[in-house]
Chains A and B, each alone.
Chain A
């Protein structure tokens, strides 16, 4: 069993990037925390620990593989429900590529969207309000809500390189 001090050290050093990767793939904080805990638990029960310079890579690979296994075990409807990756994107490099695109999307949202479009986009994806709820709050029609969201997504699609 790996010593507690070593696990503590790795936890402090690697938890942030590990949880970040799990969240990107699973879109769920609690499930991401469970995955990262499971990886540390597995490491704790091993007899040897990866070398210090390769430990992070080892742990990240473990997190990614666990997340991809979770996704593979879901049918397509459940994947859409959780915004999981589709089959053609289930490879080990996808997570790293997503990282860069997500950064660019964040920049576009912050700097390129109009205030109205950004606010409605956040209401929908951050507060998880329905079209109906946003329409009521903003005093506009549901069609107008759709048009705002579509405009935001189109802008992001146009500006973020793939």
Chain B
């Protein structure tokens, strides 16, 4: 019985005893049987039946670990990836356009500006540097941003089927911010343009003359 007591005590901390010590105690047949009894008692206490949920979970774990996605799912994933890719590219393009627009709309405040006058809702800006012409955002309206008067009048003349004549060479170089409402008559457009102080436009015999 002393050996059984010793076995039970040793089993409290098996790692504290060497392989030789374990072999020695387990030479005894009663000790081996008692060890087996303890092992099986542990089985009896801890072995619990599995529920259906446990089996399903194990099966899903196994399948997700060892089975690749089915071709059908793979195709859907590819389509989803392409779709997401297109959306991303679209977002980037929209963002890029917005940034450029925002940049163009920012009033030029650098040292290239030599004259900046506001009369009613129309601005005149004379710049040494070239800039960009931007089309209007709304139908029937065209917005010129920092575009030369020559360029603007040429487009207006084509639209209204008239000619353009410059008697003042300097006036052709004036650059403007101007919203051209294409629904207006040519006379109305000329009137709006004449709000600028730097030049004067007249309309006669189907010709726009800039003085």
Which residues on A are within 8 Å of B, measured CB to CB? 4, 8, 11-12, 15-16, 19-20, 23-24, 27, 33, 36-37, 40-41, 44, 75-77, 80-81, 83-86, 88-89, 98, 101-103, 105-106, 109, 121-122, 125-126, 130-131, 146, 149-150, 153, 156-157, 160, 162
Is B15 touching A81 in the complex (CB atoms < 8 A)?
Answer: yes
Contact residues in A for B138 (Cβ distance below 8 Å): none
Is B41 touching A105 in the complex (CB atoms < 8 A)?
Answer: yes
Interchain nearest-CB distance for A78 vs B (Å): 8
Whether, in the assembled complex, B130 has its beta carbon less than 8 Å from a beta carbon of chain A, the answer is no
Is A105 touching B19 in the complex (CB atoms < 8 A)?
Answer: no
Interface size class of B (residues with CB under 8 A): 35 or more
Q: A76-B23, A157-B34 are in contact. List 4 more A-B contacts (CB 8 A).
A: A11-B62, A85-B36, A105-B44, A157-B33
Is B50 touching A19 in the complex (CB atoms < 8 A)?
Answer: yes
Is B40 touching A101 in the complex (CB atoms < 8 A)?
Answer: yes
Interchain nearest-CB distance for A84 vs B (Å): 8
Given A80-B22, A153-B34, the answer on whether A146 and B8 have CB atoms closer than 8 Å is yes
Interface majority SS on B: helix, strand, loop or mixed? helix
Partner of A88, one of B32, B49, B62: B32
Cα(A81)–Cα(B13), bound, Å: 8
Which residues on B are within 8 Å of A, measured CB to CB? 5, 8, 10-12, 14-15, 17-19, 22-23, 26, 32-47, 49-50, 55, 58-59, 62-63, 65-67
Is A15 touching B59 in the complex (CB atoms < 8 A)?
Answer: yes
Is B36 touching A89 in the complex (CB atoms < 8 A)?
Answer: yes
Interchain nearest-CB distance for B57 vs A (Å): 10
Cα(A92)–Cα(B52), bound, Å: 29
Residue among B22, B49, B63 with the highest chain A CB neighbour number at 10 A: B22
Cα(A36)–Cα(B45), bound, Å: 22
Is A106 touching B14 in the complex (CB atoms < 8 A)?
Answer: no
